[in-house]
Structure 1
């Protein structure tokens, strides 16, 4: 596989017949046609009985769940029940020896992702992996190099890319409605995360996890939309010297981190990841363009908002004249009801309807021998900026360069 084949241009839209006009306007690549290999069945292995149980592989007409795995017997039982699978393994290592398994979904703890992905690729398996891609820049490089060396398919299961509001944003961007996006912002608030720090008195992998080591639910809102890369960052962290943060394996002193990125287009992008405080849970983005802006709801609301440039002159509350742009509510379509998905998967799913889209994108990429939207280069472009942002926060907000992994 040459380099041009490996680097996927997400905005290359291929015409397909027999799909709805609504789905076509977003991206015909996601509509369920799969004529090229419609009878092919991908035999999946599912690894991780927590998060891994929510992705509906058994409903995809081009997929068979061949085997499941978890270190815990109770979670193996859950996976077997959910995916109607009679074969289970006590470890990933054992599952990878199964010659019938051709692809795996890695839904293991985040610090294990790079090691498990690389082992799976070396075993000859295609890989779908939960976020984030890696914990260090070296791991990012190692994953990329292994994908290049093996020529196998890698996809990161980034839910932001297939949220119903994000699908609408991608439609707007494709149609040029934003004009030029000159700034953006995203936030991921998960207050109360400390309840997941310990289980049965023992620390879990989440204990003290740096917020910016879990950045992809934010970074994908911009990088996944426009394709620009995050090139520089200054990040500020907040901590309160809580005893709960003491002794964490990451040596992380912060509950919350706010990063200010400069993109490859010279645009600003603000990202907040917050674990503690008077916060409402949120995963949201906003994009500001010179023709139109689009805003995810604020926490506690379900109202999406469009702001459009208008020629009407208005007055502010001090009496000064200004352009009176139009502000209107936007009802996000339920894209999961359309033929962007195979019929058995046209139902709501986790993370704003994204889980079924992730499953279909991975399976369809394998069936049709193409790169998935969130391939290895995109996955690292969402992940690596957060790793550098945390380093900046540890240095009091020092402006730092973000390396590129696109080659």
Structure 2
């Protein structure tokens, strides 16, 4: 193994790309995609409807200066009560269908069960509502095509609430990539480990949508790590799955035999990209990415809350453990800026939030896109680029790893 050098804290702070102290005003400089940064200049209000009292209650529409939560909905009264308490909104509906009839509602956040996303988004678009939807976008390639066509037909705004895009380290990596710090990214990898999900298979004695849900039907926390940074598209895949014959997976509605799935993708640039989604095993819970370049590489922390690492190519000559000379790489801990503290967000949203600070960014990106009549970062084409590869990867795994083409939806 090549020998690496770990720098002292003083050197780390000197070499760090951006320190926390230098963040003020940095938001506007990050990218044209962050042109929404800072305080709003419009007094227009988007009237939101929020559907789904679990994940739907973890966002901040009520804090956004350009948003009013007009109505909330869940099939269960207890979850509607959570939404009422969270968003200080007393107008409630017992179903999405009822909420969509409310003419005061401009846009809807759909945070319902994953298998219902496509159906619910289509209903909202047909009702004339803009849509922010939880991940994944769809369950089948046919649903992917239907969503794309509906967005084009209606001319309404669709955004997928993919948290990986706005994780603090992903924001940093996007900036580094645009600045050319990686050189050429020649390979990448991502993993989403969430062991113990079987406790959510049943609730009150009834199976939930999570019972046996295929891991690769939930790929977006991984695929976004590459696509959101480089814009590459995943074009081919070999998928592999692991299951142990557990009775917990028996008779699930997806006929899925796998707890864990791994996919080996080829991108439209000819680069390899490995993705793992794991529900069971001796695993550290994490959502992380790796980007490997010929000038620099970035490795997300192995566990939530730990340090990220940067490896930089160098001309220093060292020796490996066999005594052979080689050029050593410089390894250093990355001092992660907290981008949610900056003017990338309105003042009211400059606080930490779920999924490594991403929820306030998702809230703002969607509302600001509507206010300024622009396409959100995770628009329908990006959403399907994150989602469809996992659908095909699962099909490949069911076929023993057969190489399959991934269709594009741009």
Range class of TM-score, shorter chain: over 0.9
The aligned runs of 1:99-118 (5 Å cut-off) are 99-118=103-122
Structure 2 residue 348 is the aligned partner of structure 1 residue 344: yes
Shift of 1:263: 0.2
Q: 1:253 — aligned with what?
A: 257
Report runs of 4+ in structure 1 exceeding 2 Å deviation: 32-35
- Alpha carbons of structure 1 residues 229 and 292: separation in structure 2 relative to 1, 3 Å: same
What's the counterpart of residue 404 of structure 2? 400
Cα pair 1:311 1:323 within 8 Å, conserved? yes
Within 5 Å, which residues of 2 pair with 1:266-277?
266-277=270-281
Matched, 1:61 2:45: no
Matches within 5 A, 1:17-28: 20-27=24-31, 28=34
Alignment of 1:8-47 (within 5 A): 20-27=24-31, 28-35=34-41, 38-47=42-51
Distance in 2 separating the partners of 1:243 and 1:279 = 21
Of the candidates 353, 373, 380, which is equivalent to residue 376 of structure 1? Answer: 380
State which of 230, 233, 236 in structure 2 corresponds to 1:229: 233
Counterpart in 1 of 2:20?
none
Distance (whole Å) between structure 2 residues aligned to residue 345 and residue 151 of structure 1? 29
Q: Contact (CA 8 Å) 2:25, 2:343: kept in 1 or not?
A: no
Give distance in 2, aligned partners of 1:20 and 1:44: 30
- Aligned residues of 2:234 and 2:267 also touching (Cα < 8 A): yes
- Structure 2 unaligned regions, length at least 5: 1-22
User: Which whole-Å CA distance do the structure 2 matches of 1:306 and 1:260 have between them?
Assistant: 24
Q: Secondary structure at the match of 1:85?
A: coil
Q: In structure 1, what is the equivalent of residue 210 of structure 2?
A: 206
Q: Distance in 2 between matches of 1:30 and 1:307?
A: 32
Partner of 2:126: 122
User: How many residues of Structure 1 are paired with residues of Structure 2 in the alignment?
Assistant: 386
In structure 1, how many angstroms separate the alpha carbons of the residues matched to 2:28 and 2:368?
A: 16
Q: Give how far 1:26 is off.
A: 1.8
Deviation digits for residues 70-93 of structure 1 (CA, Å, limit 9, x no counterpart): 000111111011101010000000
**1:132 pairs with one of 122, 136, 150:** 136
Structure 2 residue corresponding to 1:322, chosen from 317, 322, 326 = 326
Residues 303 and 65 (structure 1), Cα distance of their counterparts in 2 relative to 1, 3 Å cut: same
Q: Does structure 2 retain, via aligned residues, the 8 Å contact 1:189–1:282?
A: yes
1:308 aligns with 2:306: no
* Alpha-carbon distance, 1:32 to partner: 2.4
Match of 2:338 among 326, 334, 339: 334
1:354 corresponding residue in structure 2:
358
- The aligned counterpart of 1:364 is 368
2:100 matched to which residue of 1? 96
Per-residue CA deviations over 1:165-201 (Å, capped at 9, x if unaligned) read 1011011011111111000000000001111101111
Structure 2 distance, partners of 1:32, 1:45, is: 24
TM alignment of 1:178-193, pairs within 5 A: 178-193=182-197
Structure 1 window deviating more from structure 2 (26-35 vs 308-317): it is 26-35
> What do the CA deviations read for 1:210-255 (whole angstroms, capped 9, x no partner)?
0000000000000111101000000110000001100000000000
Match of 1:282 in 2: 286
Gaps in structure 1 of 5+ consecutive residues: 1-18
Question: Matched residue of 1:93: which SS?
Answer: helix
Q: Give the structure-2-normalised TM-score.
A: 0.93
1:6 match: none
**Counterpart Cα distance in 1 of 2:329 and 2:69:** 51
CA contact (8 A) 1:234 1:260 kept: yes
Q: Classify 1:172/1:30 alpha carbon distance in 2 versus 1 (closer, same or farther; 3 Å).
A: farther
SS in 2 for 1:166: helix
Q: 1:215 maps to what in 2?
A: 219
Q: RMSD of the TM alignment (CA)?
A: 1.0
